[in-house]
A = this chain, B = another copy of it.
């Protein structure tokens, strides 16, 4: 099974609890979050995951590269160097990058996007040194102003392809890209270039909640055709982990064990043929 638990899906669990949950549910991999890692310390987190025999499918997250001015730039670089170092120590080759939205008071999307390209240029060689790949995650266009000025897989690939494939890749996250009329072609392009660093899944459910960030559902609860998308990702040559990453208050308030059972059941029904 290629299923991985992205740790945000069981937000109520500490890192040791999430690790134990995966072990108990026979889920072979976990995607870690930096805040949860920090609670126990990087060395201890790495040991826990290793001792449990879990693979680390990714570390979430680096990025936030759009701040203007030299201070914003230095701060973003320092933060991402730390994230790369942590990723390496945790034993993952993938640092998920959420690039950041428009800086406060700015309406200049073009300039914000240029800063992303500029900082990726600084970070990419360091990523290579750490043996970690920067995985640019296009977010749904509804997050363009406040979270990520990279909104489509094609745009993420335009950025990634400036750098060697082992330094910069992309994330295919179903929630963010499912609507894209150009999706099939861009997944094929990403695969042909060896750029798919991560495949994350959760479903598009309606209505959107009061906090639009938290509207994601279990696979199968919404409007996305996961079999079709997974076939495209597979045909593109991706054989890596399939991470379930869900931001949803109701799911966060459910017992973690139940969430993992649902994840496994939906994974088998909609994503990976048994």
Contact = CB atoms under 8 A, between A and B. Distances in A.
Interface of A: 102, 107-109, 113, 140-142, 144-146, 150-152, 154-155, 158, 178-182, 204, 206-208, 210-212, 222-225
Given A109-B225, A223-B107, A144 B208 contact: no
Contact of A146 (B144, B206, B210): B206
A178 B150 CA distance: 13
A140 B145 CA distance: 13
Contacts of A108: 225
A212 B208 contact: yes
Given A151-B181, A208-B208, A212-B212, 7 more contacts: A107-B225, A113-B181, A140-B141, A142-B208, A145-B204, A145-B206, A150-B181
Interface SS of chain A: loop
Contacts of A225: 107-109
A142 B142 contact: yes
A145 B223 contact: yes
14 contacts: A102-B223, A107-B223, A109-B225, A140-B142, A141-B141, A141-B142, A141-B179, A141-B180, A145-B179, A145-B204, A145-B222, A150-B181, A151-B181, A208-B212
